[in-house]
Amino acid sequence: MNLKLFGTNGIRGIPNEDLTSNFSMDVGKAISTFFYTEKIAIAKDTRISGDMILTSVVSGVNSTGTDMIYLGILPTPALQYYCKIHKIPGIMITASHNPPQYNGIKAIDGDGTEIDEEKEAKIEDIIFGKKFRTVPWDSIGKYYDDNTAVDLYVNSIAKRIDYKTIQKKKLSVAIDTGNGASYFTSPLLLSRLNCHIVSLNSNPDGKFSSRNSEPKPENLADLISLMKTGKFDIGIAHDGDADRCVFIDESGNYVDGDKSLALITKYTIKENDTVVTPVSSSDALSDICLEKKARLIITRVGAPIVARSMIENNATVGGEENGGFIYGKHQYCRDGAMTMALMLNLLSGENKKLSELLGEIPDYKMVKTSVKRNKEWAETKDIITDKFKENKMNFLDGIKIYEDGGWVLIRPSGTEKIIRIFSESRSQEIAEKINEKYYNFLNNL
């Protein structure tokens, strides 16, 4: 039997239901058995269950003779940067943008990247086989704090941008950290960049009382209405663990992740640079790469996959349509605060409003829906492939089907029992029509 614990982004579950303290301890034991290293760093987001999961994982790690360094509440990319600099593996306790009842465990490699599928499979094998490398009493690991990760992270980001130009510009910024892991780091970075800041939900609150953690327009009503006062240059929001960053323009319009990805890419890459993006991204990005004479590599969906391809191809930038942007010069992972800083960097360098800069990006319309998955994906895939066999298709990840004037991408979610349907066209009407066609077909299966 092929048992799989890791989803697209680590192990996720509801504490005391599927994600119990015993299980979390086993995950801790397995991760440290796998890495077989002197020390591992650990951090958490603001979730209520964070302490329970974290201490269980710590106990497991210590039992294998490995020391555990606790870094505090941190964005996932801040832990990753610490791991990269100190060349030690890490464990992040987070369920990213999932509702507050969830939590999760994510393993970080000694170079700061998320572990790949092969390593996940090895860790799963250790968990299921209980092949833990526990040590005698006198070799058990220790647990201690290190409070240097915030400065390490924030200062390193400031070094990657033209911070003096940003400081001179005195940008007005509204930021909504959604009670999550970036409640301290992102406002701190903004204040060091001399921005005028109004922050929303920058109190750590594991119930996410103020808004849902996913930075979608319907969850950002407060930030959007604040932006509509016209008093700010840009609005910024993160998800729960702040590996993602989304933007609101100066008039209160939500900026689609595809648009911000294309915009930041346009102002960050040079000729002959390499850009990596998954098959779900907008054609706007390929247009930008063509314009800038950059190479574009298309991968399967998933930030770790994009990051691995970036390393292999020495890429400058990579990213996804959901506000997950990777800047290779800083680190090979999605990084909310780095994304924010790059956006402020380009905004300060150009004498234009955000909406004007976005207006220069090729305009594609994407429609995203999802349906419940009742059958095994393999079966659904066969049905679709057979039904639409006249169309040109691509099977890199899920099924991408080309239609007149656009395309649709149909793929099962890695974390939920749903099938996602993304359609894109230059015309909103065509994008909607394509999406509706496949939505209805899948819904009737």
Nearest distance from C-beta of residue 156 to Mg ion, angstroms: 20
Per-residue buried b or exposed e for 77-116, using 16+ beta carbons within 10 Å of the residue's own CB: bbbbbbbbebebbbbbbbbbbbebbbbbbbbbbbebbbbe
- How many CA atoms lie within 13 Å of 180's alpha carbon, on the beta-carbon side? 32
What is the binding site for Mg ion (CB under 5 A)?
96, 239, 241, 243
- Residue with the shortest CB distance to Mg ion: 96
Nearest distance from C-beta of residue 88 to Mg ion, angstroms: 22
Q: Is 8 helix (H, G, I), strand (E, B) or coil?
A: coil
Nearest distance from C-beta of residue 199 to Mg ion, angstroms: 19
Residue (333 or 408) nearer to Mg ion, CB: 333
Q: Is 233 helix (H, G, I), strand (E, B) or coil?
A: coil
Nearest distance from C-beta of residue 244 to Mg ion, angstroms: 5
Residue (243 or 320) nearer to Mg ion, CB: 243
The whole-angstrom separation of Cα 163 and Cα 156 is 11
Residue (243 or 250) nearer to Mg ion, CB: 243
Residue (288 or 310) nearer to Mg ion, CB: 310
Taking the CA atoms of residue 350, residue 355, residue 358 and residue 360 in that order, the dihedral angle to the nearest 10 degrees is: -70
Residue (63 or 96) nearer to Mg ion, CB: 96
Q: CA dist 291 to 296, 358, 388, Å?
A: 12, 15, 33
Contact (Cβ atoms closer than 8 angstroms) between residue 361 and residue 247: no
Catalytic residue selected from 32, 49, 63, 96: 96
Contact (Cβ atoms closer than 8 angstroms) between residue 58 and residue 143: yes
Would residue 282 show up in a list of annotated catalytic residues for this protein?
no
Q: Across the chain, how many H-helices and E-strands are there?
A: 15, 20
Question: So which residues are the catalytic ones?
Answer: 96
